[in-house]
Amino acid sequence: MPPTKAPKYGHLFIAVQRCGLRITKELFLKRVRDITPEGHDPFPWTVDDFLYTNREKIIKHKLGEKLKQYLFPGHSKSTNLERLDLNTFCFLLIHFCGLEIRVRQDINRLRKLRNKLVHLGDGDIDEYTYETDLDRIRGIISRCSNELNNPELAVELENVIKEIENVQLADFEKAREKLKEWMVDETKYRVWIKFTQEGFDGLKTALQDVQERLEENGKLGHIDISFSSAILFIELGKELEEAFSGAYQGSVPGKLHTHIQSCVDAIKEDIRQMGPEVESVSIGSIIFKFTCFSVTSLIYLVDYFSGPILQRRLHGIAKALQDMVDDLVTIQICVPPENSQEIIQKLEKVCVSEDDVIPQAKRKKVFNDPLYGQIELHPLCVKIIDTPQFQRLRHIKQLETCYLVYPGASHNRFEHSIGVCHLAGKFLRVLKELQPELDITTKDILCVEIAALCHDLGQGPFSHVFEHKFIPTVFPDSKWKHEMATVKMFEYMLRDNEGKLREYFRQMIPGFEESDIEFIKELIGVPADLDAQVWPYRGRNKNKSFLYEVVANGVNGIDVDRWDYLARDSLMMGMKTTFRYSRLIQHAKVLVAEGRKQICYREKAAETLYDMFYSRMTLYKTAYQHKTHNIIGLMIRDALLAANRKITFASEKGEELPISDTIHDMKAYTHLTDDILQQIQRSTSDDLKTSREILDRIIHREFYKCIIQTQIDVEQKGWIQKKDVQKTLFDKINQKRKQIDPTDSSKILEIDVVNLDYGFKDNDPVTKVWFFKKGQEDTPIRIDKEQVSFVLPDTFAEQYVRVYSSVTDSHLFDIIEQSFSEWCDENDIPQPKGLSIPKDDSPK
């Protein structure tokens, strides 16, 4: 017996036919009322008033001409709305009702979904497509019901969707026939863009194999290869064949000819590096011929023709065709098989000989990472890794002196940088797959991966000890940041190494341009304001602003750099963390918010984001700002200060530069790593005696002492400035000890103010993140923490004030405690825990 239940595509038919028809009819009637001219009598317009006012425009349209007998039945008759179908209402709404763009997009989605179902035939659809289309229908219902200000309608139609699983086959057949009705002739066209993957995939695999063999043997020179690809228009029908014939001959002015020509021009512009030529143009096809200068550029070209980029270029033609016939034509992209074979044969001749073939296993560039397992990096990334400037990162600790507190924290910037590179590529590939309309190219991904790989090139010895303790002491007015040195080191890396690396960039980045170098430097430099009135970058335009949020996100702090160090540092220190970056990747989407494209997240990922920021604060509190770790950092700073002018490094100009001045010369800076401490310890020079004594104290764990500390409620007291605390406390301490020791106590004491927060001072960082809801995926929204959980913190920051001493003196410690206690009283700050001196409560 035949099945009595309708298949999944039958459920969608019911949802589109019932919900779509109701929504579009109600929207149409509302717009007729809304656009009635003021003072019209009677008010508002009737449907016939609207139609006859727009009669000339409607009939000029091809579909309007065919709908004439239904829309304009005669002077004595009124239009019968019950005879109008979903397609007719969509036609009127889109072209003549002045819809806002977001509503018009929804109506277009509904129309396209109807067309897809009509042409599906009797084939069913998979579960993912079914759920995706249902969610899309729900979103359209929700947004259009809001536009109608009719929540009851939303509930009614949602119930229709809930009941569709109970639809019987007979009901489905009736709905399908109703949905297939056209107020036009019965000529059917199929209009969509189709890619023949077989030829492309085979060619790309073969090309990548050849490329690896060439790289292994150093044969990356220019290779001129001809490549042909065709855009074919299938099943045009007589009417469209005539239109296309006229368009190609230039005799048909207007939209169709314009779109075909602009499509060809756009393709030329996209791949201008390869020198495209239009080999032939006929009624049913456009054949392009390219001359490629390297295997890499050829792979890029194959990527272009087999991926979503060209698909979007052809949307203009598809739209023009749809306007002409109001239905779907196949646009097919293919590469001739004989062309592929010829290319590979030519390349084999310049590749390695048969007796010199390198085994496949040796060609892969695989890194075994403790976090991600085996990861494979692009050959250009490997070329960067194999430079002295990057290898330097093997000798710079990721967590400065934390390994002296947490023995396992001895990992380096080297492995962290590789991890960030891996995550950047993974994140962008997911976005590219889920949102092909973003036009994320292979080149974009590679440039971001390179930036992620190189983002820490400018770190000094012991990282933040050098940047935040040593340099500010030597140059108090300097605003130097390691990102500045990163850009300079990247530039030096390109011009060093006999210029080979820059040549690799030119050869191995698809369609390489100098702006790609600029783009990478922008990604690794000090972040600019992405929301500035004038777009601050030149490497990529504002349409790709979201790319600037992947490596170092100055907008909300959610980036792959943070994802890697949270996971890696927790692992190496033996700390547990519940944060999982993979959940954020799965729930990310790029939307337009506040005038530019930003990375947004599904609303249910908000809790994961709070988890991320909490994990960050926990690591800062227990490790990064651990008092013993900070004390050792101060001791290393003092050792470097004492050795600053005693150890020098050769500059590019041959000058000998002290440690502090190497930040201005990258040749010298390349040789400045954590090894500077071993250099000091190995030395027997009297000039380095003071530095050696400080380092000997570290080895024997005779650290400076943390005399006292207290916490400050930032929300209640506001932010305490370090310089203000130092001035007041030093004055108090010096006043109390001046009769015993008149020397300035700042020579032996360090007053430190430690800021602990979620990354944005005392603000909730999640308020800076855009989200979206299921069913409303195209609408960015903000979320309050109360919408996530009621047990999230009310305060997102605190401060610690600490006093360290480089000498051991019990009398001095008493003076410090007394002065600190007085300062706390004067500023209404909690007294330190375990205060050893009695608090004076007598009246002053």
Cα distance between residue 19 and residue 644, in whole Å = 76
Residues ≥6 apart with Cβ < 8 Å to 4: 168, 169
* Distance, CA of 493 to CA of 717 (rounded, Å): 47
- Tokens 């790029």 found at: 590
Nearest residue to 722 (alpha-carbon basis) of 762, 761, 758, 751: 751
Please identify which of the residues 257, 259, 455, 482 carries the catalytic annotation. Answer: 482
Which tokens go with 25?
Answer: 């009819």
Indicate the angle between helix axes 442-454 and 482-495, nearest 10 degrees: 110
- Contact present, 478 and 460 (Cβ < 8 Å): no
DSSP 8-state code for residue 358: P
Please report the DSSP string for 47-103 in residue order: HHHHHHHTHHHHHHSHHHHHTHHHH---TT----GGG--HHHHHHHHHHHS---HHH
Is residue 378 among the annotated active site residues? no
Q: Are 314 and 231 in contact (CB under 8 A)?
A: yes
Phi, psi (deg, nearest 5) at residue 801: -110, 125
**Structural Rg of the chain based on CA atoms:** 34
Q: Quick count: other Cβ atoms within 10 Å of Cβ 307?
A: 18
Q: Where does residue 540 rank: exposed (0-12), middle (13-18), buried (19+ CB within 10 A)?
A: buried
Structure tokens at 769: 């993140």
* Sign of torsion over alpha carbons 105, 111, 113, 115: negative
d(CA 68, CA 55): 9
Are 283 and 192 in contact, with CB atoms under 8 Å apart? no
Tokens 């608090």 label which residue? 839
Q: Which long-range contacts (CB under 8 A, 24 or more apart) does 93-102 make?
A: 93/24, 93/27, 93/28, 93/31, 95/57, 95/58, 95/61, 96/54, 96/57, 96/58, 97/27, 97/28, 97/31, 97/32, 97/35, 98/31, 98/35, 99/27, 99/31, 102/143, 102/778, 102/779
8 Å CB contact between 442 and 544: no
The one-letter code for the residue type at 637 is R
**Cα–Cα distance for residue pair 527/548, rounded to 1 Å:** 8
How far is residue 645's CA from residue 704's CA, in Å, rounded to a whole number?
24
- What amino acid is encoded at 274 in this protein? M
Active site residues: 482
